[in-house]
Amino acid sequence: MATKKEAKASAKEQILQLFEQARLNEKNAQKHIKNAIRIALKNRIRLSKELKKTFCANCNTLFHHGKNSLLRVRKNYITIHCKTCQQNTRIAT
């Protein structure tokens, strides 16, 4: 049986692999992102800020700026508008 550290390291690798698969395969991207989030929650792992910026928290759609999302840069924050579910996400800069 794996120790907690080994299990978390393995889970982090799985999460990164799922996000890479989501980038390569747009057809199943939502499914891969949903699985990655489930693994992170189960193993109590926080997703990095870089990973959080790549998908919509509401509908788990992978952002492709210009295609399915709109990126607005303001003075103190960045707003990402998802065109799939019409959700706005603000990220502090």
Q: Would you place residue 2 in the very low, low, confident or very high pLDDT band (cuts 50, 70, 90)?
A: confident
What average pLDDT does this structure show over 63-85? 95
Q: What's the pLDDT tens digit per position in 4-23?
A: 899 999 999 999 999 999 99
Is the overall model pTM greater than 0.75, yes or no? yes
Annotate 3-37 with DSSP letters as a single string: -HHHHHHHHHHHHHHHHHHHHH-GGGHHHHHHHHH
